[in-house]
Structure 1
Amino acid sequence: MIEIKQLAKKFALENPKKLSDQEKKDPRLKGRFFHSVKEVSFACGKGQVLGLLGPNGAGKTTTLRMLSTALKPDSGSVFIAGENVLENPLLARRKIGFLSGTTGLYGRLTGRENIQYFARLHGLHKSLIDMRIQELAELLDMHSFLDRRSEHFSTGMKQKTAIARAVIHQPELVILDEPTTGLDIMAAQTVLEFIRGLKAKGTPVIFSTHHLDEVNELCEKVVVIDQGVSRFEGSLQRFKDLADNSLHQSFMAVIQPTLNDIQGEV
């Protein structure tokens, strides 16, 4: 079980005068600070797949980076199995597997070597590393490219390798930031099947996406973030019920009040 409570994060602006007119209209802009995440709270239980939705720039990636401890929040807490992992980042990194929006593979290393490197950082023994890589290569269909240098990988190959690297240590929680973006249909289906496998093992999964069909296919729970605030948290069916079973219309119903507020200020 993971519980996120009132996360907030602001960033200092180097030169507010250089902001576009659209950026200046964002209510999160306060003086020389941009409050990317103002107040985000939600929970994800054992074996749940939670779809994190929101418009571009809503604060989803900043939220996920805070959960992974890549960013330190200004306030708020993250509890995993009752422990506030933000107070102990090393504990958080043992418990969490995080896939960011960029794969960040070492190009001169093979796919296998990239995964091995991160496994050693997590303190895994060589025999366990070999076993885990074999298991993940099967699940993610990686055998054909696992021992090639990653600088020559396609987008799908890079993404699969990055996912394997993120979960090599069998984390208690998996966070995926738009894991199927840029993938072809076959690669995307492999990733979705992998998420189903995590779910079957009881591992909570939080993943952000713009593909509502993926949410409908995988998720028990939906959270919508808009302008740095969690606007909706509930079951997939409750989300659908907002607009006569239409995910697209439900999404628009959640963010429409914010859009109206912005338009009223113009």
Structure 2
Amino acid sequence: MEFNDLKIFQSVATHGSVSKAALELNYVQSNVTARIKLLEKELQTPLFYRHKRGMILNTEGKRLLKHSREILSRMDEMKLAFQDKSNPSGVLKIGIVETVIALPDILSSYHSKYPNVELSLKAGVTDLLLQKVIDMKLDGAFVTGPIRHPLLEQVEVIQEKLVLVTKGDTFSMEDITTRPLLLYNKGCGYRGRLESWMKVEGIVPKQIMEFGTFGTIIGSVAAGIGITIIPESAVTDLVANDTVYCHDLPEPYREITTIFIRRKDSYLTSTLQCFIDEIVARTELEQVQEP
């Protein structure tokens, strides 16, 4: 079995198509098909359900996909281990929740120091990003914490205040029963905090409208469509212009911590170590500047 066969297998599994995998890898389709058949012969088991529209992993294929990801990830780690530690390079895959106010400063400082590193950013909700780090699809991620998981370690980035945001300057708990809640998809840490509070208070929302981006949510709130929950720092400018208004949540639901997570058993490359160093340096600077 060759490492390249595992890369071909992963591509076919991801796309569910030999033709799309061939296009991605710049191979002819017959070569991709032949390598998959050779892999199945060597493992003595089919790996896909084949149908007219493509290919779907069977149970054995899913097992191999998990192992192949780990094997190829270790290969990448081995290569990175021999890079120049004083001059990191390569691709750093980072997950983000969209409202991390500290992120631009961290990215700007890191990029200016290590221009040879290509930053690849993936936005999503906390639960999704957490799973991608566990599956080693991301090198690390900014998520809502704290997180307790045996495979993960975390660095605190910033503590913030969660607020309810409306178009009007008045708010009562009854508003949640008469106006839609505009929230991120399930798995969002902010949404989870709001749902915990509503459960304790026995509040049943009128309607929950799910959105994928901060811009869409806050724009809809400003248009008077409904209410959302978000870190106060994310709407400072809009509040200053009286575009939206913030309303406090009760303790202990108002405090939120953003953390950076990584899989603790994965090789800590110099590229990622330098990124974590930037996070720690910024956090320490913020603490010094606090009155």
TM-score, scaled relative to structure 2: 0.26
Greater Rg, structure 1 or structure 2?
Answer: 2
The structure whose RCO (Cα within 8 Å, separation 6+) is larger is 1
